Structure formats: structure tokens, C-alpha cells
């Protein structure tokens, strides 16, 4: 590990020098941006390694002092410092191991989130609306921007489907663990007898695809326009501004109608299509890895029931890590960090076990 860290520190210095080269900035902007990103990616590892090296130097100096002639009080102080430094070094070693784990290349990306009401009729659609508002509140807590891509409302505050983008640094790194089936147990607003119902909604979290990730040939898509409609088929737009894009090779169909502009709807539909195609590419490339990771928190299996929201008992349980929080109201108000942090920690522990 130490050899790798020393190599990364040297590489960090070299990249820093290249970044300052005015010739590179002027002649090859794309290469300069690539180097900037690589430099930024390894910076946390290098800084942590320098902190580790400094702690090791301080420990060596403190141990040397114990061989000198010291009064009892000073010797006790030095011993305490040695003990504290040894603990710091152990902690820094663990942090460095985590930082050296292979990075998900999509962690820095924005995300497209799709929520669909599942089994449970209107109550499932209402729960889909609850989840949508939960993620919007989480985005607000992180100062991320939310852009609604497409909605299919049921008219009583719920959604058969809602697709939206969350734009913010590290959005995918935090939200990728949310893919799967979310189950709710509560008394529906539509239920007069007060019986507890169980229903579900599915969540898919896709990294936003960049142009470099997916290339779509013009002949591979068919674009149809139609008139937007609201609940019950009532027209909400007098022009054919809604857009439906069909990707002929895969059969994927994407519709967007929330914008009044046909151009904007087409742009949003293309973003969703690219992210779906990118997701398919990743699924194919990682088929063997996904099989090995089956059951792990980072597997992203969207058919898996990952979480239960039990309103009568005020609890939220994540079944992948057997973690229960008794704060359902604050949780659905976007207070997700405690759960997400636990999922990330478990995922990292599983990856470290594989490395070891």
C-alpha cells in the first residue's frame, strides 16, 4: 500500500506541473481538462497520505524522546502522545484503504431518478408521490437542483410515474443505493375503515449519460409528436408539444410532455434515453460482477425489495443492512444521510473484504 501511495504522490506532483503548462492549456484544452480531473481525483488520497506520513514522523520523534533523560511528568506526557499518535495512524491507515478502493467512474455524475407506483393501485401512486417529495427534500438539503423530466399524475397527489433529474456534485455516489422496490405499510388516505395496507413503488437511479458515454445514430430513433394531456385526458396544451422517442434497436420508448416547448421536451427525452442506454451498457459490462455481488448493498438490483416504510410504528427498515430508524417523519422529509452513510460504509467494507 505504501508503495502505491508514494507513487500517487509523485504522480500528483507531475500532474500539477503539467496543469501549469501554458502551452498545454492553449494547444490541447481537452487534454488539460482530463489532467485537471485526474489531479483532482487523486488529491484526497495524497493529502491523507501526507497526514499519515506526518503522523508517522511525529511518532518516531516521540519514541526517540523516551530514550532521553526526562522527569516522570514529561515521560508520562510523551507516552500519552505516543499512544494517541498510534491510534491516529491506525485510523489513517483505514481511511487510506477506503480511499484506495476502486472508484465508481459515475460517482461524480448527476442522476435521473424514475419512480413508478407498483402493486397497490392509487395508494401505490400516492406512495410514489411521497418518495418523489422525499428525494426533492434531500436534494434541497444538499443544495442540489431538481429538474422534472416527465410525470404521469393520478389527480389525488400521486404519480403512476415521475422522472426527474437531480443535478449536484456526487449525487450518484449518494443516491445509487436507492434503486429497488420500496414498500409502504400505512392507512391509505383513500381508506375509510382505517385498515393498514401494504403497497410498493419502484425506484431506478441512473447516472446521467454524457455524450462521450453514448452515441446515438440519427437513423436509430423515431420521433413522434403529440398533444400533451392532463388528468382524465383533458387537454393542457393546444399545440403538439409532447414528444415520444423510440429507440429502434432496443425498443425503448421515452415520452416527455411537461414542457410547453417541443424542443425542450425532445431534449429531456433524449437525456433520459441516453441514460437508459448507458445503464444497459453498464449492465452488460458488469454482468459477471453483478452475479458475484448478488446480495451486496451496491448491486443495484431493481427487482429487490430494499426498504419498508411502516407508518403506524414510525419506522424505516433497510433490509440489505438490517438497519431500522424510528424517525419516519423526518426520513420522508429528506433526512436520509444516516441511512445512506450506513449503506456506503457496508458497501466499502464488502469491497475491502474482497481486496483482502
Domain-embedded: residue 242 = yes
Tens of pLDDT along the chain (356 residues) come to: 788 888 889 998 999 899 998 888 888 888 888 898 889 888 999 999 999 999 999 999 999 998 888 888 898 999 999 999 999 999 999 889 888 877 788 888 999 999 999 877 888 999 999 999 999 999 999 999 999 988 888 877 789 999 999 999 889 999 999 999 999 999 877 666 678 888 999 999 999 887 667 888 888 889 988 887 654 444 455 567 889 999 999 999 999 888 888 888 998 998 999 898 888 887 776 665 455 445 445 554 556 799 999 999 999 999 999 999 999 999 999 999 999 999 999 988 888 777 65
pLDDT at 293: 45
Q: Are residues 229 and 268 in the same domain?
A: yes
How far is Cα 149 from Cα 146, in angstroms, rounded to an integer?
Answer: 9
Domain that holds residue 43: 2-99
Q: Are residues 188 and 158 in the same domain?
A: yes
pLDDT at 190: 65
Q: Are residues 178 and 89 in the same domain?
A: no
Count of the separate structural domains present in the chain: 3
3-state helix, strand, coil in the chain (%, to 5): 50, 20, 30
Domain-embedded: residue 294 = no
Q: Are residues 139 and 253 in the same domain?
A: no
Q: Are residues 118 and 196 in the same domain?
A: yes
Q: Are residues 186 and 314 in the same domain?
A: yes
Domain-embedded: residue 84 = yes
Domain-embedded: residue 56 = yes
Structural contact between residues 210 and 238, judged by C-beta atoms closer than 8 angstroms: no
Domain end point (choices 76, 99, 122): 99
Q: Are residues 38 and 183 in the same domain?
A: no
Residue tagged 424542443 (cell numbers): 263
pLDDT at 55: 94
Q: Are residues 122 and 247 in the same domain?
A: no
Beta bridge partners of 111: 166, 207
Domain end point (choices 285, 320, 335): 285
pLDDT at 13: 92
Q: What CATH number has the domain bearing residue 249?
A: 3.30.160.20
Domain-embedded: residue 313 = yes
Q: Are residues 125 and 185 in the same domain?
A: yes
Q: Are residues 87 and 160 in the same domain?
A: no
Given strand 252-256, what is the order of strands in its sheet?
Answer: 221-226, 242-247, 252-256
Domain end point (choices 50, 68, 99): 99
Domain-embedded: residue 291 = no
Nearest to 124 by CA among 165, 161, 163, 178: 161
Domain-embedded: residue 44 = yes
Q: Are residues 328 and 280 in the same domain?
A: no
Q: Are residues 307 and 208 in the same domain?
A: yes
pTM (two decimals): 0.72
Calculate the CA 122 to chain-centre distance. 29
Calculate the CA 343 to chain-centre distance. 11
For the CA atoms of 127, 298, 281, 106, the dihedral, rounded to the nearest 10 degrees, stands at: 90
Domain-embedded: residue 295 = no
Amino acid at each position: 500500500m505504501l508503495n502505491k501511495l508514494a507513487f500517487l504522490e509523485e504522480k500528483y506532483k507531475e500532474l500539477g506541473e503539467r496543469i501549469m503548462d501554458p502551452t498545454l492549456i492553449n494547444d490541447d484544452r481537452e487534454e488539460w481538462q482530463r489532467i485537471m480531473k485526474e489531479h483532482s481525483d487523486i488529491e484526497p488520497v495524497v493529502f491523507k497520505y501526507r497526514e499519515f506520513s506526518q503522523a508517522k514522523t511525529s511518532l518516531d520523534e516521540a519514541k526517540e524522546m523516551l530514550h532521553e533523560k526526562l522527569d516522570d511528568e514529561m515521560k508520562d506526557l510523551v507516552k500519552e502522545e505516543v499512544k494517541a499518535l498510534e491510534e491516529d495512524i491506525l485510523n489513517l491507515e483505514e481511511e487510506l484503504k477506503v480511499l484506495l478502493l476502486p472508484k465508481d467512474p459515475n460517482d461524480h455524475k448527476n442522476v435521473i431518478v424514475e419512480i413508478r407506483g407498483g402493486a397497490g393501485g392509487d395508494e401505490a401512486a400516492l406512495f410514489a408521490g411521497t418518495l418523489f417529495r422525499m428525494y426533492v427534500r434531500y436534494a434541497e438539503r444538499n443544495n442540489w437542483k431538481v429538474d422534472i423530466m416527465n410525470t404521469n399524475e393520478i389527480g389525488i397527489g400521486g404519480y403512476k410515474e415521475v422522472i426527474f433529474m437531480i443535478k449536484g456534485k456526487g449525487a450518484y455516489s449518494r443516491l445509487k443505493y436507492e434503486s429497488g422496490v420500496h414498500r409502504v405499510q400505512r392507512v391509505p388516505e383513500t381508506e375509510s375503515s382505517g385498515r393498514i395496507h401494504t403497497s410498493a413503488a419502484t425506484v431506478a437511479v441512473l447516472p446521467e449519460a454524457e455524450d462521450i458515454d453514448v452515441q446515438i445514430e440519427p437513423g436509430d430513433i423515431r420521433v413522434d409528436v403529440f398533444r400533451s394531456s392532463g388528468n382524465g385526458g383533458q387537454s393542457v396544451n393546444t399545440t403538439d408539444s409532447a414528444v415520444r422517442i423510440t429507440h429502434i434497436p432496443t425498443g425503448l420508448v421515452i415520452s416527455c410532455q411537461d414542457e410547453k416547448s417541443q424542443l425542450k421536451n425532445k431534449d429531456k427525452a433524449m437525456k433520459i434515453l441516453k441514460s437508459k442506454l448507458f445503464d444497459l451498457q453498464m449492465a452488460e459490462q458488469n454482468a459477471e460482477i453483478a452475479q458475484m455481488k448478488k446480495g451486496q448493498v451496491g448491486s443495484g438490483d431493481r427487482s429487490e425489495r430494499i426498504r419498508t416504510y411502516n407508518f403506524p410504528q414510525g419506522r424505516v427498515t433497510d433490509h440489505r443492512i438490517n438497519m431500522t430508524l424510528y424517525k419516519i417523519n423526518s426520513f420522508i422529509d429528506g433526512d436520509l444521510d444516516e441511512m445512506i452513510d450506513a449503506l456506503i460504509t457496508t458497501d466499502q467494507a464488502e469491497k475491502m473484504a474482497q481486496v483482502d
